[in-house]
Structure 1
Amino acid sequence: MTILNHAPQGTSLTLQNCGYRIENDRVIISIQRIGNERTEDNLSGTLRLQLCAFLQDVDKRSEQLVLASTTIGEIKGQHFLTDCHYDLFFQLPTTGTWQLALQLSEWDGAEYTLCNSAYFDTLYQVQAIPANFEPTINVDEKVKESVTPSPKVPTTQKVVKKNVIGYVNGYRAINKSKVEKILKVKGVPKKLLDKLVAERPFRSEKAVLNVKGMGPAMLNKIIAELTS
């Protein structure tokens, strides 16, 4: 875009190579150089930078809006700032065709005085929204997949065959079980459980049945508890 600089006569605060980029409600302003061309002992006042808009309408030529604004502090004489970038809130102008300009002003102790302006030749247009306008909303409809529950796989239970006395090789369960597990068998006298622990290992079910107080029904109950 072409930039036209306009500075009031006698000013020595300058703007060089300015540009802007509008992103939704933000505007990024870039300036290659902001300089104070005064003598070294001449410190500027606080400087203000504004992005302004001028309505390009014959009947409303005087209408002006400030779209973004920031202060940039003071600059010593014969000093300058380079590669400046400002990310500012952007106020969208009303409907119409606008010419945008970057304005540099200086605080003189009472008010800000305009020192330099950089006008952009590309016009900025804001179109009116029709009264009957209805925004189209695209909705991504997600098809819900019918989920068929997986059939429950029956838990395979260990089948223990019984003989006339009790469980086949049930005495092995008594030999291999931990003491704590044997002593926690419910429905069996503690003294009997203590005897089982004390007289291990057993070599057959008959040997287990020889323990005082033990019977086939009691043995089946103990083995069932230990193998569950």
Structure 2
Amino acid sequence: MNASNQAHLTIQGCGYRIENDRVIVSIQRIANDRVEGNLSGTLRLQLCALRQSTGGSETIVLASTTLGEMKGQHFLSDCHYDLLFQQPPSGNWQLALQLSEWDGVNYTLCDSAYFDTPYQVEVSSDSFVPVMEKDELEHEKAEPTPKIATESPIAKKQKEVKKNATGYDDGYLIINKSKVDKLLKVKGVPKKVLEKLIAERPFHSEKAVLNVKGMGPVMLGKILAELTKK
């Protein structure tokens, strides 16, 4: 991995669509434009909300997923990711997609795609009321007609259940630290799912683990129970 060439990891043609507690992220092209012999670190994609205030800047991660490693002169096209969505606090926000690379210690930002249309969240007596666009994807520099979408108290309770669905607050750390051979020996879980867990490590939250294709709270609980057996 050549850490000095982070700018050569790029994203193009980005958009998103929010559906209750999910967000569909679309990217026309994710590319590693470095030399052919290069292999990037693990790549991470995040949808972030940014706000400027008198006290400084504020950034909140709304959705996140890891993409694995990518060889130099390779790219992914027409990518679509269905991710868990975390509503930001009330206020006016600018949304952006950020591509970062793991350098062995931290994730380093490589490229960003900013959306011009503000994302507004107003607080009412019983729920957040975000001002959102039409059902079409919002693309960079697009000007969609906004509409109001409310989130019910029941949906909020469902989110809270998902956050601790497995009963392991630090379950993602257990997966990060587990040996490969021990992970692959977990019974009752498809081997392809276990291989994806290994390829997409390290994780930084339980939500990130649940974003792995084929993974769910029940399956994750089964994996963690097996890994923590004495």
Specify the code of the residue in structure 2 equivalent to 1:69.
S
The offset of 1:10, in angstroms, is 5.9
Question: What's 1:125 paired with?
Answer: 120
Q: Secondary structure at the match of 1:11?
A: helix
Q: 1:12 to 1:45 in 2, by over 3 A?
A: same
Equivalent residues of 1:16, 1:32 under 8 A apart = yes
1:147 corresponds in structure 2 to none
Deviation at 1:130, TM superposition (A): 4.3
Contact 1:54 1:61 in 2 (8 A): no
SS of residue in 2 equivalent to 1:63? strand
Query: Structure 1 unaligned runs (5+)?
Result: 1-7, 136-228
Please list, as runs of the form range in 1=range in 2, the aligned pairs for 1:133-212 lying within 5 A after superposition.
Answer: none
The share of aligned pairs that are identical, in percent, is 69
Cα distance, 1:9 vs. partner?
8.3
Deviation digits for residues 65-120 of structure 1 (CA, Å, limit 9, x no counterpart) = 00000000111000000000000000000000000000000001111000000000
The correspondence for 2:9, drawn from 13, 32, 35, is: 13
Query: Which residue in the other structure is 2:85 paired with?
Result: 90
Unpaired stretches in structure 2, ≥5 consecutive residues: 127-149, 151-230
Structure 2 length-normalised TM: 0.51
Which protein has the bigger strand share? 2
Matched residue pairs, number?
A: 125
- Distance, in Å, in 2 between the alignment partners of 1:60 and 1:28 is 32
Which structure features the higher share of helix residues?
2
> SS of 2:57's equivalent?
coil
Structure 2 counterpart of 1:45: 41
Does the residue aligned with 1:49 lie in a helix, a strand or coil?
strand
Q: 1:14 to 1:44 in 2, by over 3 A?
A: same
1:32 is aligned to 28
CA RMSD of aligned residues (A): 2.2
- 2:103 aligned residue (86, 102, 108): 108
Letter in 1 for 2:25: I
Distance 1:76 1:119 in 2: 26
Change (3 A) 1:60 1:51: farther
TM-score by length of 1: 0.52
The structure with the larger Rg is 1
Please tell me whether the aligned partners of residues 29 and 87 of structure 1 are also in contact (alpha carbons under 8 angstroms). yes
